[in-house]
Every structure is written in C-alpha cells, then in structure tokens.
Structure 1
C-alpha cells in the first residue's frame, strides 16, 4: 500500500516540480485539437472542467486495436473490460457498463455493450478521425447516466465542409500474434455544394498466441493459442451533405457485421449485425441572439446471437433504437454563453431464448425525454461552467412491472488561472441514473458469461455526488495535469455472484453461476497525474503518468472488477520523415477483491514500441510502420476482466503496415 502511494506521489511531484524548466519556443506552434462533443467546441488543453483526451492522427493509428477498449486502455484513468479480442469496452475511473456512454458522432451507439462485458461496442476505431474521452458538465448533454463519462468516436460520416479536392487515406496491416489481416480506408470529396464521405474496414484474425498457460497458476492448462479469441469484422459507411453558407444538411447509412469468439470455458461465439441511419443539419444564426441550431436523428437496428459449440443460436439479443436531438447555441447573454436543447430516445430491447427456455430479458420498450442546458461565463479571471439536465425515463416490459423514473442532474465548476499557463479547477456534480433494462428484468441464462442473471424490478435510481479538483500547466514544452476525485453513489447497482450453481431453467444444477443484481451505497475515489514534454513538436518527446482508483461498498468490501494502480513512461522521436517511440506501463497486483472474487491479479509490465517512415510519392504520403506490442511477452491479466483467470492478453506481437494519405 505504501509503495502504491509512493508511485503516484512521485509522478505528481515530478509533474509539479519540472514545470519551470522549459517554456514554449516563440516559433513553435502546437495545433489545438477541438473536442467535438464539447458544446463550446474548445480545445483539449482547455478542458480543465471537463477533463478530456483526444486521440487522433499518428497517436490514434499507433494505439488502434481490434476493439475500442484496447485502443484506449493506456489513457489516463481508462482501463478495459478485456473480454477477448472481439469485445473490450472502456472503463473510466472504475466505472463501467451503462455508466460510461458510447457515442458515434455525438449520438448514442445504441448497441448492448453496456449490458455485459462479452458484448462488443458497435463503433469502429479504424475509420475514426478522432476518439474523444469526456467527463464533467458537458457530459450532461448526452445522458444523466454518464456518471463515469463518455467516449465519442468521430468518423465524420456526415460531412460538414466541402473539400477542395478528394482527400482520404487507406491502410493495410498484418499482426503476427493472431495472423491478423486488416484493411481500412476513408474518402471525402465534393461535387459542387454536395460533400460525400465513404469509409470501410475489414478485419480477420485467428486465435491469438499467449505467453504462458491459459489458466492462472495452472501449469497443466492449455498453452500456445487462446481458444475462441478469433474475430471477423466488416464495416462500411456512406454519407452525403448539402453544404452552403447558411450551414449544412446531410444523411448517412452504415452496416457493421462482427463474428467473434468468447474465450470462456464454454467457447461461445457472438454473431453481431447492426444497421444505422443518421440525418443531421446545422443552421448558422437561425434568428437574432442565437449562433446556430443543430438537429440530429438516428435509427439503429441492432441484433446479435450468442452461438453454442454447435453453431446454433442460444440467445438472441435485439435492440431497435430511435434517437433525436435539438440544440440551440445562444450568443452571450449577461455574460453567459452556452447551449440548450431536447433529446428523445425510444428503444425496444430483448434477450430471448432461441431454444425455448427462459428468456434472459423480456421484450421491453424504453422511452426517455430530456431537456439540458450547459453554460459558461467569465467572472474576471475565473471561468465558470455549469450544466443541468432533467430527464423522464420509462421501462415497459411485455411481462412484469413497468417503471418510471424522473432524473435530475447538474454540475458546476470554476477554473482559476492563477498565473499565465497554469490553472486550478474545482467541479461539483450530482447525477441520477435509471436502472438499465437488464438490471430490472433479467431472469434467465447468459451463456457467454456462464451466469444465470436475476434482476430486480423494484430498484431505485442511482444518485451520484462527485467532487473533483484539478491543476494543470497547459503551455510550454513541458505540460502537466493532475486530478483527484471522490464519487459518492447511493443505490449503486452491481452484479453479485452468489455462489449458487443453476441449470438453464434456473433450477439447482452445475452449469451456470447465479448472478443477482443488487444495490448498495458505494464510494469511488482516485487520483491521476500526467506530464508531457514536447508532445507534438519535432525532436525528442516524453510522457510519464500514474493513476489509481478505489471502489468500495459503504457496507464493507470492494466493488467488483476494480482497476489496478498503474505508472507509465514513454519516449519518442520525430524528425522529418522518421518517427519512433517506446513506452512502458507497469500495473501493480490488484488484491482489492469483491466478496465473491477469489483471485488476486498479478502485476505486469507492458512494453510497446513503434517506428515509421513517410515518403512522398506523387500526391500521396506513404507511411511504412512497424508496431511492437508486449515486447517482454509478459503474461498480462487485467483486473477489470471477468475472464482474467482464464484469458490473458496476447503475447509478443509485431504489426507491419503501410498507410497512404492523399
């Protein structure tokens, strides 16, 4: 325990103590990265009240994995559920599932990844322009349930500007650990005032190699490759917009299919299919006093089948969702500048048995209507940020008790630039979340997680009270930031493995573990720190970071699947056509276990490297790259994974590829 505090304290002290030894050269211009999910569209470095990270460009391509969780797993405060290569969802500050909202271009992904860790996120990072991680008042625009934060995958499928000439990129890569083949590409063009976007991705991987035995501390278990860790994904999207001086209006359509294995003892597979339709428009200065009016609507037709050993469906998951958003951004009024709007959502969700047994979750219609407001104001040198959201949610199952929830959420913060380039901020927030459909109405087998799930239709809504203190240096060659937070959650919902074994019908047996959803008050607290040197400039660069979090039930015991304490460091070099980097992340052993967890997660070291060379060929920038992941071939088991004891992460992996930009 003393060691973990020393590691985190050292990183924070290093960040604070080194801030004075370098300032930004006058001739160095560091490009600002705009956070599209923020109502003020401010830059990443301005996000002290809504701590943000934006992955884009070379950094995104270097970190891109087969899942969104893998891609973001080394960001500050972010871990992954790591349910095999096909399904890994981001976990933010120990919050997972429905408490972390998944967005695509600012609209809900509308999959069922928040229901269970074996369900993949139906958004593809390979064709993303950027991926944003956001917390704080701005998150209230997208849902009261985003207590942990949100992740927004921006692929710009509906274009908002006219390109002077066709632009895009294409990439092909091969990975050795799983014989993985991946090809992706995007193209943007304009025909008069019509902008067109096309993107696509194809990925095929075999079972991946593992460094040691499959089962933790069992030398007699299998080794070599992890069974049922293969993936086969196809994704394509098409969008078009009419763009003029007054704004734009456009539409898009996309299709995603994903067949992937679940590396559990049962060896289930998931066959996922999603069709998505979106329309979007923006009118600049629609009338006096307002800057713009934005409208979005999306319909998602999602389904996946959980397949048994014989390839036959066992459970069919379906989610039909229609979402709308209206937003008005007003000009400063009494010094306040912000956005208000209305959001609606209508979903039909079910998880029905394909074999005639009990249904895991009955067909349930959910509707929600919300109004939101996010504002910002400068009081002298202090910047205030505030948000509020009122939401009404209804859950109506075909059988069982219908429920309604009235939710109130709000957030307020202040940022004080106590000297040029330095800032300190304090954010207070209160958020309420309605229990998810599966938490209320589950009563059936879930073979992929080897559980028989039991919900409770009488659950109360969750209520979260959060306080966060942030300090940062946002200018100069050396930059740093540090955050400490405490989140008090009343009626926190979690799945408790009781120890009872049941059969597929819910009777005593030996096939499935009984998982009963329960409520209890909980407290989550933690700290993060990061220091960067010359992050985007030429020459040498570096980064050090550390993060830690604790999730406990107030009645005693830890919350399940808590992330391990981590420290990390990286160095990079960029000059003309050459770019290279080396990073090391150390995670401590995690022994803070829930009452039903039995195995401590061992510590690990993850060493990664990258090198690339870019040459100009006519109108193309050709980049040849080599990525090396887990160079130490360490046996990495993630404490946030349900399968940590039987499903290690991939062993040493070399990724070769070429990328063309035009």
Structure 2
C-alpha cells in the first residue's frame, strides 16, 4: 500500500538525515489498537511492539507464535509447525487476547496449545503487542496483554492508484511453498481490498533425535509436522469527508499435523464477516464515533491416526463495539464505549463417547473508558472496565460473573529524552467454558480434561516500573514487573491414565483444572543503536520471568531466561542482518512436570536486495534460521520432550510492491 511505501521512504530519508546531521530518526507507525491512534514510539504507558515492513517480513513464520517469539517478553507455545500461540511474560491461553483489526479472533486457540490461531500474519500490514490500560478496551481477561493482527481488509482511506504486494517464498527444512498477496484500489469514493495466502509444508527436519535423551528414537524428519493452509479475504468501504463505512468477508482452511506419539491431525475452518465504520466529529465535544460488528463461524475436527474424526469443536461468535472519543475536557482526553459478545461453543465427541465440553452459550456485556492527561513533564493514563459474563451449558450449572478491572499509570520525563514510569493494573477474568465444564477426552493433547463448575473468577494485581531513553542514535528501556493472581486456573496433570470414557486405562493422561494463588515476576531490558537508520544498527536484549504457585512449585510451561544480540547493515538497495538468541536451561518445574529443558542457541541471518523493474519494487531475499542446526526445545511447549523445533532452514523468495 502507499502508506507502507511512504513510511519506508520516510524512514530511510530520516535515517540518512540522522547519520549526516546527528538528528533522531524515528519511523512513526500508528498503533491501531491504541484508543488515541498514537505512534509506536508514544506508547509510554502501554509498552508496545509493532512489527511492520521489512522487520515483519524477515520474522514471519508459519504461525503467530513463531513470528513473535523473539520479541521482548514474548515466547511461544510451539505445538508443532501448525499451532504456536504467543505467550507474554509467562501468561498464555485466555490471558493473552488475540485480535484481528481490533476485533476478537473468536477461534479456540486459547483453549489448548494444539489449536492454531485463526489469523494469518503473511497478509498483515503490521502486528501489534500491547499491555496496560489500552488492553482494557478489548477484554478484562487480557491479563498478559493482547496481540492485534492488522490486515486492512476494510479500507479506511482512498488509494490514488491500485497498489499491492505479492510474495513467494520457499523453505528447505520442510520443502515449504508459500505465496501471499494484497491488492488495494479505489473507484470514486469506494475503496476495495483483496488478500490471500497459500502455504504447503511437509514434515520438517530436526537435528538429532526426536525424543530428548533417547539416542534410539527416530531422527531425520519430525512425523506429523506438516501444514496445509489457505486464507482469503475481500472487503470494501465507502469513504467520504465525514468518515467511512465498510464490510469484509474472509475464509480460512488449515489442515496440520500434531507431532505427538498419537499422530493426530486438525482440520480447521473459519468464515468471518466484519463491519467497521467511523464518523468524524459526530457532535460537539467529540472527535469520533466508531462502530464495529463481527460474526465468526469457526469449527475444527481432531482426526485420529485412522483418519476418522474424534472430537468436533465449534465456535459461533457475534461481537459488537461502540466507541466515542471525546475532545480534551478539563485536561483529559479519552475514549469510552460498550462491547457485547455472544458465543455458542462446544467440543463434542464424534465417536459416541463422552463430550469434551458440552454445548455452552456465553454472553458478555461490558462498558469501558480510557483517559490520558499531562502536567508538564508528567503524563497520566487511566482505564476502567465493568463487565458481566454469563455461561449457560445445556448440561450443568449456569454461572454468572461480575468483573471489575482498572489501570493507572504515570510517566515522568525527568530530562529530555529520558523517562521514568510506573503502571498499576487490577483485572478480573471469568473462568472460560472449558475450565468450567470440560469432562471428556482431548485426543490431540492426549489428555482427559476435567473442569470445575464452582471456580471463582481470577483476580490479577500487576505493578510495573520502567525507565527508558527514547531519542538519539542509542535508545534503551528496562522494565520490572510483579503480577499477583488470586485463584489462578491451571491444568494439573495428575499422573493417572484413563481411557476414552474416563475409566482407568492407558490411553490418556488425566488433566484436572485447578485453582491456586500465583505470582509472576520478571524483568526485561533492551538497547538499540540506530534502529531505523541507514548504515549499521544493533540490538541487545534480555528477558526473564518466573511464575510460582502459592504453597508449592512453579507454574507449568514457564519461559526460560533469554539473552539476544543482533546487528544489521542497510544502505541503498542492500540490507543484511545477523542475530543470536541464547536461552538458558529451564529447571523451574511445576510439581507434575518431570524434565528440565536444556539451553540452546539460535543463530539467524538475512540478506536482501531491492531493484526497480518498471512500476514494481522487487526485493530478492534469503533468510537463514538456526544456522548452527542446534537442537532447540522450548520450555513453553507441551511437546518439548518429543518435538524439537526445526533444524537449519534456508528461506528464499521474492517480494513485489507496486
């Protein structure tokens, strides 16, 4: 799109100016999930990372978890190549909300790590990571934060000419083939958008043996790690001086293997319909009115080794959002609104056995507000959300929860370019449907899940302190945080083995959802040199977090402490980079976890060349991932002992912009 080309050109020109005249080079990328539409460099109270442009394309993987796994404070669940969800500061599942263009993705990836996120990064303009007050606009349960995939399926601006981007790439580790593209155009006051993605990948190669510590286990390729994905979307808008109104429809199909001993497969399908609108200055005292609505029809089948479906998951969701942004009033500038959601979810047996989760209707209504103000060098940001959630299973006890959440933060620019800040948040989360009502087999995870309809709501109290330098060629930031969670819900593997009917057997591990108080604390630091300029640039980072259950043991699946360093060179048509991430061994285990996770080193590199051919900007690129062919097992993966990450992988391709 033109906006991408303008931002890229502006960043390059600014970088040259910075190196020549010693001025700051800042690439201004607007964070769409921020209530005030602020730039990424202005997210002082809601620490954010925005992946866009070349950086996004270099890091793009087959899943959102893989794409974001090297960001500060972010790891991945790594359930094979087909399913990997972001984990933020040791929190996963329903505590990390997944959005697409500011609306809930409405898949079932938060239920279990074997479920893929139904949002595609290959056609995204940018991917945003947010925490803090802004997250309250999208859900009380986003204790860990949120990830927003922005693909612009509903255009918000008229393009002066047809623009787009097409890319093809191949990968050696899995014989992968990937083609994706977006095209945008306009006719008079009507704007349109088309995007699509095609991905085929075979079982991927692994270094060493499949089973950790077993030299007799299989090697070569990891069985059942293949993926087959198709995704397409189309949208249009009517745009005028008063604002815009538009709609879109998209379709996703994804068939991928689960690299467990059982060799299950998941056949995922989703159809999504969205409406988006904005009215500028709807009446006196207000800057804008936004209305969004979405309907999602999601389903997937978990297929056994014999090719027959075992469990059928369905999720039908309708969501609406109203937002009003008011002009500054008594020094405060803010947004308030209302959100509703109605969901019908089930996980039913396809074989006549017990259902994993009964058909359950959930309804929620929420009101929220986020405000900001400033007094000289000090800025404040505050947010609050009230929400009512009701869950009604066809079999079982209805439950209702009243949730109150709030956040307050301040940032003091004690000298120009330096700032010190603190944020406190209080958030409550209603137990999810599967945590309340599960009572059946989940074959892909080889578990028999048991919920508890008497669960209380979770309550999180989080405090974060940060200090940062935001100007100049050298920039840095450091954060420390502590999150105290009352009635934290987690899955406890008891050690019992059951059959498909829940009787003693040898097929499935019993997993009982339980509640206990927990504490998660950690720290992050990052230093960058010339992050957006031409010439040499560099980055070093470190992050660590630890989650503990009150009364004994660590939280399960906690991330390892990591250190990373990278350097890059950008000049003219050439761009190159090299990065190394070291993860320490992880021996902080939950009481039911049995094996430590070894340390690893991941060395990646990239090289690209851009040339002008007629009206096209062609970028030829080569990405090298895990150059040293290290055996990588991540502590946040349920399958870490039997499914290492990919070995050495060369990704090559060409991208055309017009």
Answer whether TM exceeds 0.5 for this pair.
yes
Aligned residue-pair number: 641
Q: Distance in 2 between matches of 1:23 and 1:368?
A: 52
Unaligned runs of 5+ in 1: 1-21
Alpha-carbon distance, 1:311 to partner: 1.1
Q: Is the 2:25–2:532 contact (alpha carbons within 8 Å) kept by the matching residues of 1?
A: no
Deviation digits for residues 330-371 of structure 1 (CA, Å, limit 9, x no counterpart): 000110000000000000000000000000000000000000
Q: Give the equivalent residue in structure 2 for 1:182.
A: 178
Q: Distance in 2 between matches of 1:527 and 1:44?
A: 21
Q: Give the equivalent residue in structure 1 for 2:211.
A: 215
Q: Which of 396, 399, 417 is equivalent to 1:400?
A: 396
Q: Give the equivalent residue in structure 2 for 1:317.
A: 313
Q: Distance in 2 between matches of 1:311 and 1:141?
A: 42
Q: Give the equivalent residue in structure 2 for 1:308.
A: 304
In the alignment, does 2:642 pair up with 1:655? Answer: no
Q: Distance in 1 between matches of 2:560 and 2:407?
A: 28
Q: Give the equivalent residue in structure 2 for 1:459.
A: 455
Match of 2:122, SS state, is helix
Alpha-carbon distance, 1:24 to partner: 9.6
Q: Which of 599, 602, 607 is equivalent to 2:598?
A: 602
Q: Give the equivalent residue in structure 2 for 1:12.
A: none
In the alignment, does 2:160 pair up with 1:164? Answer: yes
Over 3 Å counting, the alpha-carbon distance change for 1:25 and 1:148 in structure 2 is farther
Q: Give the equivalent residue in structure 2 for 1:373.
A: 369
Give 1:423-438 correspondences, 5 Å limit: 423-438=419-434
Q: Is the 1:23–1:478 contact (alpha carbons within 8 Å) kept by the matching residues of 2?
A: no
Match of 1:173, SS state, is strand
Q: Distance in 2 between matches of 1:628 and 1:256?
A: 28
In the alignment, does 2:227 pair up with 1:231? Answer: yes
Q: Is the 1:319–1:348 contact (alpha carbons within 8 Å) kept by the matching residues of 2?
A: yes
Q: Give the equivalent residue in structure 2 for 1:69.
A: 65
Unaligned runs of 5+ in 2: 1-17
Over 3 Å counting, the alpha-carbon distance change for 1:298 and 1:142 in structure 2 is same
Q: Give the equivalent residue in structure 2 for 1:413.
A: 409
Q: Give the equivalent residue in structure 1 for 2:270.
A: 274
Q: Which of 514, 517, 520 is equivalent to 1:521?
A: 517
Alpha-carbon distance, 1:408 to partner: 0.1
In the alignment, does 2:476 pair up with 1:505? Answer: no
Q: Give the equivalent residue in structure 2 for 1:482.
A: 478
Q: Distance in 2 between matches of 1:438 and 1:661?
A: 44
Q: Give the equivalent residue in structure 2 for 1:351.
A: 347
Q: Give the equivalent residue in structure 2 for 1:17.
A: none
Alpha-carbon distance, 1:27 to partner: 5.1
Match of 1:45, SS state, is helix
Q: Is the 1:612–1:623 contact (alpha carbons within 8 Å) kept by the matching residues of 2?
A: yes
Q: Distance in 2 between matches of 1:315 and 1:173?
A: 34
Match of 1:591, SS state, is coil
Q: Is the 1:430–1:466 contact (alpha carbons within 8 Å) kept by the matching residues of 2?
A: yes
Q: Which of 540, 551, 554 is equivalent to 1:558?
A: 554
Match of 2:206, SS state, is coil
Q: Give the equivalent residue in structure 1 for 2:104.
A: 108
Q: Give the equivalent residue in structure 1 for 2:468.
A: 472
Q: Give the equivalent residue in structure 1 for 2:613.
A: 617
Give 1:124-203 correspondences, 5 Å limit: 124-203=120-199
In the alignment, does 2:47 pair up with 1:51? Answer: yes
Deviation digits for residues 414-459 of structure 1 (CA, Å, limit 9, x no counterpart): 0100110111110011000000000000000000000000000000
Give 1:87-102 correspondences, 5 Å limit: 87-102=83-98
Q: Is the 2:85–2:116 contact (alpha carbons within 8 Å) kept by the matching residues of 1?
A: yes
Q: Distance in 2 between matches of 1:547 and 1:632?
A: 23
Deviation digits for residues 599-621 of structure 1 (CA, Å, limit 9, x no counterpart): 00000000000000000001100
Alpha-carbon distance, 1:380 to partner: 2.4
Q: Is the 1:207–1:226 contact (alpha carbons within 8 Å) kept by the matching residues of 2?
A: yes
TM-score by length of 1: 0.96
Q: Give the equivalent residue in structure 2 for 1:386.
A: 382
Alpha-carbon distance, 1:42 to partner: 1.1
TM-score by length of 2: 0.97
Q: Give the equivalent residue in structure 1 for 2:15.
A: none
Q: Give the equivalent residue in structure 2 for 1:7.
A: none
Q: Distance in 2 between matches of 1:163 and 1:27?
A: 32
Q: Is the 2:312–2:347 contact (alpha carbons within 8 Å) kept by the matching residues of 1?
A: yes
Q: Which of 331, 334, 341 is equivalent to 2:337?
A: 341
Q: Is the 1:28–1:537 contact (alpha carbons within 8 Å) kept by the matching residues of 2?
A: no
**How much is the aligned-residue C-alpha RMSD, in angstroms?**
0.9
Q: Which of 73, 77, 82 is equivalent to 1:81?
A: 77
Q: Give the equivalent residue in structure 1 for 2:576.
A: 580
Q: Is the 1:301–1:320 contact (alpha carbons within 8 Å) kept by the matching residues of 2?
A: yes
Q: Distance in 2 between matches of 1:384 and 1:565?
A: 32
Q: Give the equivalent residue in structure 2 for 1:37.
A: 33
In the alignment, does 2:511 pair up with 1:546? Answer: no
Over 3 Å counting, the alpha-carbon distance change for 1:371 and 1:25 in structure 2 is farther
In the alignment, does 2:237 pair up with 1:246? Answer: no
Q: Give the equivalent residue in structure 1 for 2:258.
A: 262
Q: Distance in 2 between matches of 1:557 and 1:417?
A: 40
Q: Distance in 2 between matches of 1:595 and 1:331?
A: 53
Alpha-carbon distance, 1:30 to partner: 2.0
Alpha-carbon distance, 1:40 to partner: 1.2
Alpha-carbon distance, 1:26 to partner: 4.7
